[in-house]
Amino acid sequence: MKRLALLTSGGDAPGMNAAIRAIVLASHYFDVQPLGYRHGFNGLLEQEYRHLDTEDVYNIIQRGGTILKSARCQPFTTQEGAQLAARNLNEAKVDGLIIIGGDGSFRGAEHLSRYWQGNIIGLPGTIDNDINGTDATIGYYTAIDTALESIDKVRDTADAFERIFLIEVMGRHAGFIGLSAGVCSGAEQVLLPELYPDGLPDPQELADHIRRAQKIRGKCSYIMVMSENIWPGGATDLANELQTRTGIECRPVILGHVQRGGSPVSLDRMLASKLGAYAVEAMIAGKSGIMIGERNQQLVEVPLQQSWNKSKLLDPYLVKIQRQVFDLVKNGNNY
Amino acid sequence: MKRLALLTSGGDAPGMNAAIRAIVLASHYFDVQPLGYRHGFNGLLEQEYRHLDTEDVYNIIQRGGTILKSARCQPFTTQEGAQLAARNLNEAKVDGLIIIGGDGSFRGAEHLSRYWQGNIIGLPGTIDNDINGTDATIGYYTAIDTALESIDKVRDTADAFERIFLIEVMGRHAGFIGLSAGVCSGAEQVLLPELYPDGLPDPQELADHIRRAQKIRGKCSYIMVMSENIWPGGATDLANELQTRTGIECRPVILGHVQRGGSPVSLDRMLASKLGAYAVEAMIAGKSGIMIGERNQQLVEVPLQQSWNKSKLLDPYLVKIQRQVFDLVKNGNNY
Amino acid sequence: MKRLALLTSGGDAPGMNAAIRAIVLASHYFDVQPLGYRHGFNGLLEQEYRHLDTEDVYNIIQRGGTILKSARCQPFTTQEGAQLAARNLNEAKVDGLIIIGGDGSFRGAEHLSRYWQGNIIGLPGTIDNDINGTDATIGYYTAIDTALESIDKVRDTADAFERIFLIEVMGRHAGFIGLSAGVCSGAEQVLLPELYPDGLPDPQELADHIRRAQKIRGKCSYIMVMSENIWPGGATDLANELQTRTGIECRPVILGHVQRGGSPVSLDRMLASKLGAYAVEAMIAGKSGIMIGERNQQLVEVPLQQSWNKSKLLDPYLVKIQRQVFDLVKNGNNY
Amino acid sequence: MKRLALLTSGGDAPGMNAAIRAIVLASHYFDVQPLGYRHGFNGLLEQEYRHLDTEDVYNIIQRGGTILKSARCQPFTTQEGAQLAARNLNEAKVDGLIIIGGDGSFRGAEHLSRYWQGNIIGLPGTIDNDINGTDATIGYYTAIDTALESIDKVRDTADAFERIFLIEVMGRHAGFIGLSAGVCSGAEQVLLPELYPDGLPDPQELADHIRRAQKIRGKCSYIMVMSENIWPGGATDLANELQTRTGIECRPVILGHVQRGGSPVSLDRMLASKLGAYAVEAMIAGKSGIMIGERNQQLVEVPLQQSWNKSKLLDPYLVKIQRQVFDLVKNGNNY
């Protein structure tokens, strides 16, 4: 192992820079040359890379985004694309490739592995936390805190006006951010895809719950945290629907892309630093086709396919707590 | 002056609690009894008040929202409403009333003054900064910083993806938050009502600018900060429009109610503390029909009507700077 | 189980309020009456308690400190003290007591259990994370982030001036905060009690390292994170010592009590919410003499004595990463 | 005016990068070449500079520290030093020099002007706000907010433990940070140099006040904000002194260098952006020997000497408010 390459792909996540730094530092520590490809898989197609020295990663551990840039890349998904990438990697004398990204990026990794002989290792980098085989993904912790800070602020207004707010958080098709942000903000209710496996929540039921709760509790703020994609038209449409059905003013707040950025919190920096360093060790040990994750405080190697073909479960105890809050609210508790 | 009342009205703003605290502390310092009415003008109608002791305002200087709650109040705008409020204030032996709110609240104050003999003083409390006669309103400074923190985060993603984001900020019909947040975040462009006095910006012109800039600059992030109400359908619709016209992906981010909450920054706490204390002094001195503001670092008394019948101007030098940035971008500078 | 009492004791930690809220909500959910004792064990001696309704814990999940106040309490450690506490608990018809605090508080719990028949359960609440049997303690996550934010700021100055800073963090006799904050801030070196089991680090060795590193790296910032209690006189004295020995300006920064406060980050809110709710369930199930913790994402019951008679280990992989950074710096890498 | 140089000198301050960016953007806008000298006046001696393009200042508006680095520079203060600097500037064909720093840096500017014919303009950059002729200095607003956030956190612990904390803030020999942070945090007392013009405060008087206040108020938190340099040995020694005299536990917290760093708040970014852009305009207009400041919302040109030979006054109304709080506390109000 003389030379490894790395890239970031898919949606950016806070901590990606910490992972890049860790990979570069560990590479230099173990006398391996690290090459940074820019713009995700596009960089492989356009041979856009440069050597990364320790100075290049100085003072980036605290930065959001990714110094290597990211991108989606359609052409790479073809056979020709992967073959071109393989030729370029060989031309650059790369022995192994570390890909930091989400499950789409990992499928890309698998696609590449059919045409390239080098070793491939994935690091889970996405705010959505929807990667199986690791307790958390790089960026998830920061995203929760970002969502939470925003909801705490909305609570001030909700409280001053005793008003109902629907707050839409990210998560693609997983409720991790929604559940954590909901429990942590003391939300009166959460709408998560995992809680409605058979389809949409019934708007009349939601409206009845709100109306009954507000009637018994007296004037009160009421915050509902909902995942993106759970309701057609999102928080805006559901707020309108509920306002019509309850006759109570309902306001939507869509947190949106704010959740992707920002300086990573300590847990994301730690996770990224550990996964990055370990990925270099695994690469040197000749491992391939795996994702490095952390489970139960142990660094683990997970076959890449496992990362997406089994879906990760929400913490059942958090779900239980949130249900208890919901029931308390229903019974008129103005906690 | 034995007893004064206070209330918060209209949209809540960070620093309202600091103002309440200052009024209560100064009242006790000068041996005046402060009464806190809850839920804005509604409290006057429903005689919902309580005596406020110094302990009641302990540790609230750092809290967002308002411990007195706020509300909009339709019935108060009638003659009967104001007369009922006047009777209630007299019944509670209130000599003067301090109203913390925006221009709608000040119009309410004027309405009340036709039916009530007590002294009335307004404090400018709104994040929008659209009150004439004071350099800043309570809550404005925090709102800029909140918007700015969010835009800084979006910049991380914009930068990682070299993408275009349209960020919609609050301000009702004024561009103060938009201009400040735009300049401070290094936004490539701002859309403010004051810059388009004759109507909507021309979408084709906006699209041409973006396309030309992105073509010359190479791949780049591009952030446009726009005021709410400047485009029908807001950032979402304008993003769609521009995406269609440019063929470049444009993403909307609507900061929304997050901007109203949060712990007030130091400047809002200072402003609120000064205005609140001074309002009590002015009340004791027999002043009425005025708003307390701060101009050029001096506390000033402004006739209430002046606060809304003359509109406040944007800082022309900030506008100039932003225009220079816009021109630099247009000419291909990837600053 | 009809009535349970709760108190917070020892140094306060962010998330204690979230734990109080969780206990109160779960109690009401399961129809148990919660009583809040104030000022830690002092409250037991002075029978200072009140019933806690769901409204009492409204909107406290995001607050630092503890609404029940905390205190150290010497008289409680005597036989008479514990007997008085036992009588008072019986008089208040308390069936079980939940104590949120650190190992000193747990020893107090054990002391009380010799004189009182009720059930006693402990929740780990301390920023130091030095409680065995749980992966993290309530408050630890927030403390790391607080330390980290401060160190990130110091890095700005260190970097602008290419200067050496010694930053002293809390942790009593454990290096958890120091190690995490060190790794996450990209510190060039950490001084933790666990790394110097046989005594003080050798100042000449520290000085030689710094001098050599700065000589090879050229002008550079250099940050050393050190635990409190590792050096007599703390960061101030060690900075003087190193400045004398190296001839390079060394500045101390003592983060101090700032680390104890602040709004809890999401992970502390989640941990506190889960431990608090589970403690009520365990109490109802008749458990006693245990601490509730979380290990490997599972809620666990740990005999109280185990919480202090076995010391918790630092994450060896974090130690390894930090050592690699240290070696890279030593060899002149300006990462 | 074809080429201007810029440098940052003295203690770094948040917003220096925003000022650098503004100077570089305005220079390019007006077709002037900007040269960045590194390490303050040292850069002039060692001819350490580089051309700054718009790309060099991309995405730095939100960064603390200074990309040009700063330093103190003894050799520059000699005649030989200034002559060498003058030769170097001429050699680099520099027509004018913009210096961002505090009063020491401005004296350096004056010193240089005796040996160099080019134009010299200063921008006030220091967290201390102790520069006459401008309402605020670049970095001051951020420093207050940083201090305030820390004090808010200490309040949590002070409140939980009902304890006394002495918090030492920066400000060199001026009380601006102390006064603002004190008023904004609701501090029970402030110790500022301007309030004790004839020397030290009397420790017995301080102790008496605390003892009396705590006796009347009952158990309470008590926060004293003190400026650095006002007490020999700082907060640590004064805390010991007061603890001895009152018999009540007093804890010191020294905020230290944390106050210099961090991402600048919006007001510092705005101030820096305006001053920087205006400095370029003034330079082009042939101005020299001045500092650019902002007073009463107007950009002003102040003779450099005025910036240090007249000291700036604290806001008298803030002082008055703080005195009222102090008196309320003395009379037992637990506000």
DSSP per position, C178-216:
HHHHHHHHT-SEEE-GGG-TTS---HHHHHHHHHHHHHH
Q: Mean pLDDT over all residues of chain C?
A: 95
Q: Which of B145, B151, B181, B149 is nearest to B266 (CA)?
A: B145
Residues 6+ apart with CB under 8 A from D197: none
Is the predicted pLDDT of residue B238 greater than 90, yes or no? yes
Which of D22, D28, D328 lies nearest to residue B333, judging by beta carbons?
D28
Amino acid at C246: T
Question: What confidence category does residue C216 fall into, taking pLDDT thresholds of 50, 70 and 90?
Answer: confident
* Percent of chain D residues past pLDDT 70, beyond the cut: 99
The reported pLDDT for the residue numbered C217 is 75
Rounded to a whole number, what is the distance in Å from the CA of B54 to chain D's nearest CA? 4
- Chain C residues with beta carbon closer than 8 angstroms to that of A145: 265-266
In Å, how far is C249's CA from the nearest CA of chain D?
A: 12
* Per-residue model confidence as pLDDT tens digits over A30-74: 999 999 999 999 999 999 999 999 999 999 999 999 999 998 888
* B160/A253 CB distance under 8 A: no
D150 chain-C contacts, CB cut-off 8 A: 258
Q: If you measure CA to CA, which chain B residue comes closest to D155?
A: B59
CA distance A33 to D123: 44
Residues 6+ apart with CB under 8 A from D215: none
Of chain D, the end-to-end C-alpha distance in Å amounts to 59
Q: What is the pLDDT of residue D214?
A: 82
Cβ within 8 Å, pair A334-C270: no
Please state the rounded mean pLDDT for residues C109-136. 97
Catalytic residue positions of D, numbered: 128
Report CB contact under 8 Å: A273, C315.
no
| Residue C333: per-residue pLDDT | 72
Whether the per-residue pLDDT at A193 is higher than 60: the answer is yes
Q: Count of residues for chain C?
A: 335
* Mean per-residue pLDDT, C170-181: 96
Instruction: Report how many Cβ contacts below 8 Å link chain C to chain D.
Output: 111
Among C239, C234, C241, which residue's Cα sits nearest to residue C251? C239
Chain B residue nearest residue D52, CA to CA = B335
Provide CB contacts within 8 A for D323, sequence distance 6+: none
Q: Give the residues across from C252 on adjacent strands.
A: C166
| C80/chain A closest Cα distance in angstroms | 38
Contact A155 B261 (CB under 8 A): yes
Cα separation, C161 vs D101, whole angstroms: 13
pLDDT higher than 60, residue C213: yes
pLDDT at B97: 98
Q: Cα-flanking dihedrals φ and ψ of residue C22, to 5°?
A: -65, -40
Provide the ipTM. Answer: 0.96
- Contact between C266 and A25 using a beta-carbon 8 Å cutoff: no
Query: Which phi and psi angles does B99 have, rounded to 5°?
Result: -115, 120
Chain-chain contact of D57 with B321 (C-beta, under 8 angstroms):
no
Looking at chain B, the whole-number percentage of residues with pLDDT higher than 90 is: 87
Report the gap between the CA of D259 and the closest CA in chain C (Å). 8
Taken in order of first residue, the domains within chain A and their CATH numbers are 3-139+264-304 (3.40.50.450), 140-260+315-330 (3.40.50.460)
The β-bridge relationship of strands B290-295 and B298-303 is antiparallel
Q: What is the pLDDT of residue D331?
A: 80
Asked if pLDDT for residue B330 goes beyond 90, the answer is no
Closest Cβ–Cβ partner in B25, B62, B296 for D297: B296
Nearest-Cα distance to chain C for A278, in Å, is 9
Supply the residues of A annotated as catalytic.
128
Kindly provide the b/e burial profile for residues D36-56, where b requires at least 16 CB atoms within 10 angstroms of the residue's own CB: bbbbbbbbbbeebbeebebeb
Q: DSSP letters of D70-111?
A: ----SGGGSHHHHHHHHHHHHHTT--EEEEEE-HHHHHHHHH
Q: Is the pLDDT of residue A219 over 80?
A: no
User: What mean pLDDT, rounded, does chain A reach?
Assistant: 95
Maximum separation of any 2 CA atoms in chain A, in Å: 71
Tokens for D175? 């009380």
What is the C-alpha to C-alpha distance for residues B155 and B168, in angstroms, rounded to an integer? 14
The mean pLDDT value for B252-263 works out to 97
Residue D180 structure tokens:
């603002």
Name the residue among C25, C184, C297 with its Cβ closest to that of A324.
C25
User: Could you report the per-residue pLDDT of C2-33, keeping only the tens digit for each?
Assistant: 999 999 999 999 999 999 999 999 999 999 99
Among C303, C289, C308, C276, CA closest to C104: C308
User: DSSP state, B257?
Assistant: G
pLDDT digits (tens, 9 = 90+) for C33-51: 999 999 999 999 999 999 9
Beta-carbon count within 10 A of A316 CB = 8
The single residue of B103, B128, B145, B268 carrying the catalytic annotation is B128
pLDDT at A335 over 70: no
Neighbours of chain B (3+ CB pairs under 8 A): A, D
Hey, is A148 helix, strand or coil?
Answer: helix
- DSSP tag of A68: T
List the structure tokens of D87.
């030769």
Q: CA nearest C107: which of C68, C72, C66, C65?
A: C72
Q: Which residues of C touch A142 (CB under 8 A)?
A: none
3-state secondary structure of D4: strand
The predicted-structure confidence for B38-97, as pLDDT tens digits, reads as follows: 999 999 999 999 999 999 999 999 999 999 999 988 899 999 999 999 999 999 999 999
**Contact between chains at C65 and D254 (C-beta distance less than 8 A):** no
Q: What is the pLDDT along chain D (335 residues), one digit of tens a residue?
A: 899 999 999 999 999 999 999 999 999 999 999 999 999 999 999 999 999 999 999 999 999 999 999 998 889 999 999 999 999 999 999 999 999 999 999 999 999 999 999 999 999 999 999 999 999 999 999 999 999 999 999 999 999 988 899 999 999 999 999 999 999 999 999 999 999 988 888 999 999 989 888 887 766 889 999 999 999 999 999 999 999 999 999 999 999 999 999 999 999 999 999 999 999 999 999 999 999 999 999 999 999 999 998 889 999 999 999 999 999 988 877 65
> How many CA within 13 A on the CB side of residue B111?
21
Residue B335 has pLDDT above 80, yes or no: no
| Arithmetic mean of pLDDT, C100-111 | 96
- Count chain B–chain D contacts defined by CB atoms under 8 A: 143
Amino acid at the residue C172 = R
In 3D space, the residue among B37, C22, B195 whose CA is nearest the CA of residue A321 turns out to be C22
Residues making up chain A, counted from first to last:
335
Residue C332 has pLDDT above 80, yes or no: no
Tell whether the model's pLDDT for residue B144 goes beyond 60: yes
D17 close to D24: Cβ distance less than 8 angstroms: no
Across the range B95-110, mean pLDDT stands at 97
Alpha helices per DSSP H over chain A: 16-29, 41-45, 79-91, 103-113, 140-161, 176-185, 203-217, 234-246, 266-284, 306-309, 316-330
Q: Please provide the size of chain D in residues.
A: 335
- pLDDT for res B155: 95
Closest approach of chain C CAs to the CA of D285, in angstroms? 31
> Which member of C95, C128, C145, C268 is catalytic?
C128
From the list A184, A183, A166, A180, the residue with the least C-alpha distance to A228 is A166
Provide the pLDDT for residue B334: 61
Q: Which phi-psi region, left, alpha or beta, contains residue C138 (left: φ > 0; alpha: ψ -120 to 50)? A: beta
CA–CA gap between residue A258 and residue A149 (Å, rounded):
11
In this prediction, residue C219 has a pLDDT band, given cuts at 50, 70 and 90, of low
D295, D297, D298, D303 alpha-carbon torsion, rounded to 10°: 20
Rounded to 5 degrees, what angle do the CA atoms B56, B60, B65 make? Answer: 110
The residue-averaged pLDDT of C241-259 equals 95
Residues of chain A with Cβ-Cβ distance to B161 below 8 Å are: 12, 69-71
pLDDT over 70 (residue B316):
yes
* Closest chain B residue by Cα to residue A73: B161
Q: What does the block give as tokens for A27?
A: 């590479």
| CB-based contact C25 A315, cutoff 8 Å | no
Mutation pick from D266, D317, D320 vs chain B, by most beta carbons of B within 10 Å, is D266
Alpha-helix runs per DSSP H in D131-260: 140-161, 176-185, 203-217, 234-246
Q: Do D156 and C258 touch (CB under 8 A)?
A: no
On the question of pLDDT at C218 being above 80, the answer is no
**Per residue in D30-58, pLDDT tens?**
999 999 999 999 999 999 999 999 999 99
pLDDT digits (tens, 9 = 90+) for A275-310: 999 999 999 999 999 999 999 999 999 999 999 988
Beta carbons of A183 and C273 less than 8 Å apart: yes
Number of other CB atoms surrounding residue B26 within 10 Å: 25
Are D260 and C157 an interchain contact pair (Cβ–Cβ within 8 Å)? yes
What residues contact residue D3 under an 8 Å CB cut-off, 6+ apart? D32, D33, D34, D35, D92, D93, D94, D95
